[in-house]
Amino acid sequence: MATDRAKTRYVVLGLLCAGPGTGYTLKAAIERAIGHFWRESYGQLYPTLNQLADEGLAEKVSKPSGGRPRYEYSITDAGREALAAWLLEPPSEVPVRDELMLKVFFGRYGALPTLREHLQASLRRFEATAQQLSMAQAWLRKEQADAPDLPFWLLSADRGARVAEARAQWARHAIEVIENLEAQSP
């Protein structure tokens, strides 16, 4: 019974709107398209797919490729309705849990050089994300120019890029602050 805290269902239904797919291809699609704000594991994905099929929100069709078992899922009308209903509900707040920030906040009880290294590693990741999402936007504008989903896809990439850029700027500032602290104390 659709516990409804489980959002995996809607991720799957949303992606199936763009066309049928297997557990494997959906996993790849999640990483590629929404990986900057959502992730799923196979352990979550495969049971959810079977559950959606049981509930009639998706249709499961065996499409073996070679000797390999393969199940393709497509969305049903009931599935589209379930997705639309969920889209109407106000989104729940982000459950924020950022371990880097914890280590910054409690920074005084650790070693400054280590903290700086954590920050530098994070900065590299933030920069990579920001750049990757900027490129994604350019690619979308060029290659998906007439997809009806385009504005929504652009918006999500844009949000990712902006947040990553803000995080990167903050990290640069933080590294400076820590370096100053390092210089002041032996």
Partner DNA sequence: TTAGTCATGTAAATCGTTACATGATTGG
Partner DNA sequence: CCAATCATGTAACGATTTACATGACTAA
Per CB under 7 A, residues contacting DNA are: 1, 3-8, 22-25, 28, 39-44, 46-47, 49-50, 65-72, 95, 97
Inter-axis angle of helices 77-88 and 8-16, to 10 degrees? Answer: 120
Partner whose binding site includes residue 22, from its own copies, DNA, none (CB under 5 to 8 Å by kind)? DNA
Angstrom distance (rounded) from CA 171 to CA 116: 10
Alpha-carbon Rg of the chain, whole angstroms?
21
Q: Which of residues 70-129 bind its own copies (CB under 8 A)?
A: 80, 83-84, 87-88, 90-111, 114-115, 117-118, 121-122, 125
| Residue whose token pair is 């409690």 | 106
CB-based contact 58:73 (threshold 8 Å): yes
Angstrom distance (rounded) from CA 16 to CA 125: 30
Residue 70 or residue 179: which is nearer to its own copies going by CB?
179
Q: Which residues bind its own copies (CB under 8 A)?
A: 7, 10-11, 14, 17, 33-34, 36-39, 80, 83-84, 87-88, 90-111, 114-115, 117-118, 121-122, 125, 148-149, 151-153, 155-156, 158-159, 162-163, 165-167, 169-170, 173-174, 177, 181
